[in-house]
Amino acid sequence: MESIHASSSSSLNHRAFDISSLNFNSNSNSSPTTSSRESALSVISSDSGSGSKDGRSPVVMGSSINYKHKVINGPCGYVLEDVPHLTDYIPDLPTYPNPLQDNPAYSVVKQYFVHVDDTVPQKVVVHKDGPRGVHFRRAGPRQKVYFQSEEVQAAIVTCGGLCPGLNTVIREIVCSLHQMYGVKKVYGINGGYRGFYARNILTLTPKSVNNIHKRGGTVLGTSRGGHDTNKIVDSIQDRGINQVYIIGGDGTQKGASVIFEEVRRRGLKVAVAGIPKTIDNDIPVIDRSFGFDTAVEEAQRAINAAHVESESVENGIGLVKLMGRHSGFIAMYATLASRDVDCCLIPESPFYLEGPGGLFEFIEKRLKENGHMVIVIAEGAGQELLSESIQSMDMQDASGNKLLQDVGLWISQKIKDHFAKHSTMNITLKYIDPTYMIRAVPSNASDNVYCTLLAQSCVHGVMAGYTGFTSGLVNGRQTYIPFYRIIEKQHQVVITDRMWARLLSSTNQPSFLTAKDIVEDKEEALKKSVEDGH
């Protein structure tokens, strides 16, 4: 086995090609100039039709492409999933020297700017004879920028639910634009997407955002829904905004992708960039989302309280419900960190209540062994059991998310009813739901650092003319990821993976899986691995 990684000191020149010299111009039907270094490259697209959606001619480089799938194939199985650039649809844009070359803060850096060939692999552990796999463009400042400081009018918007670190990201975008690039006009969009056309914008300065990272929530306000693409882009155009920073989860990033599509269709010199935000850590590709570490840390307080309550009485049960609509990462990591949890239930791992090997049997066994127990359940777990016993309504919130039943209250009552009817054991159950307390706190030190890196990387990319991308951490390196990779699916716990096995060994709980379930899950995991290029 060998590890592959990209760094500033290790470019791809030894692979005999230069990705920076490729020209993606959607206004031209001609093939780009080729050289001996580029002869091994080809560009592919899953949308290989004869033209793009808006009627523009596609780029022809070996095969016709749609800008969204700006994929470069190189030697040894190398694949670069590149991000769009303003020059893809606006030719002959002027460039300017990067102001960072005169910035005292960067004078100590050995290499001011990211090398044009630097990429980051999605997977670092590969077989020695295996392909090099999928890469993403490495984030960081470029030697040339496509915006003059005085022409920039930037807008920042936060959408969806709250998450620790939102204010830190806002602060660092503002400060990075001001202090690194000399940008003076930075605005905040009040109240989510609808704020573009329904509310006044706020002027943001380093002074006005100086202490906001110490507060939870978002100073810009947020909302779900309200996405009217034409109204939003009309507002962007009318106000003269040319940089848009969108902070939100997968639904918000889908909205950002649509905004970018419309901006490109109109031929506007407007860079649209996203910063992924979800407390559930359910965004694919990236290592983790900001706010997740804080959420896990705060969850410890609730778990500790449940443990104290449960061990203070005979046959005490502490039940804690944590966030996680479709992904159980908070519950899993909080359980592993705590060591006081006896059973963790997540959406990805089905469980059943009654009968041999069921949850009720395990609870009774653990109470007889220890005299108390702690259960952690993610909010999306067991929803199929609720729908069997409670009339389920397919209601959605403004973002299109299905409204979930309260599994914590439901399972609490089920446990109480079971022991009242089928056991001579008297139990005392305490139910704790810290959901909104967790997401409303300021970010911890680890997330504050991460938010700073995300924000600065995003600003560097936008100033360099990249657009239609999300800034994210991949294998410990900041990268630019095309929108379509971020919104294609949700990141979930793989219950046939080692991390879930570590949890099961830590809690000593049953997997609640039959042999058939295990085979099916392994087949699904293998299919997912193939799709991800692993």
Catalytic residues: 280
Measured CA to CA in angstroms, residue 28 lies from 23, 51, 89, 313 at distances of: 10, 12, 9, 75
- CA-based Rg of the chain, rounded to a whole angstrom? 25
Neighbours of 322 (CB within 10 A): 33
CA-nearest of 368, 378, 439 to 411 is: 378
Q: In this structure, what token pair is assigned to residue 497?
A: 């993976």
Separation of alpha carbons 25 and 496, rounded Å: 44
Q: Pick from 178, 162, 149: which is nearest to 219 by CA?
A: 162
Q: Which residue has the tokens 């909104």?
A: 436
Residues 195/221, Cβ–Cβ less than 8 Å: yes
For residue 13, give both structure tokens: 């020149």
Contacts of 110 (CB under 8 A, 6+ apart): none
518-523 long-range contacts (CB < 8 A, ≥24 apart) are 521/494, 521/495, 521/496, 522/496
DSSP 39-71: TT-EEE-S--SSS-TTSPPPEEESEEE-GGG-E
Question: Which residues are 377's β-sheet partners?
Answer: 321, 345
Dist. CA 276–CA 487, nearest whole Å: 10
For 140, the 3-state DSSP assignment is coil
Sign of the dihedral through C-alpha 416, 419, 421, 422: positive
Name, in order, each residue with C-beta under 8 angstroms of 415's C-beta and a sequence gap of 6 or more. 317, 319, 360, 363, 427, 429
Burial (CB < 10 A; 0-12, 13-18, 19+), residue 251, is buried
Instruction: Indicate the pairing of strand 144-145 with strand 96-97.
Output: antiparallel
Pairwise CA distance, residues 286 & 288, whole Å? 6
Distance of alpha carbon 470 from alpha carbon 480, whole angstroms: 6
- Judge contact between 285 and 478, C-beta under 8 A: no
Q: How far apart are CA 255 and CA 366, in angstroms?
A: 47
Cα–Cα separations (whole angstroms), residue 258 to 198, 229, 269, 272: 19, 7, 16, 10
Q: How far apart are CA 114 and CA 124, in angstroms?
A: 20
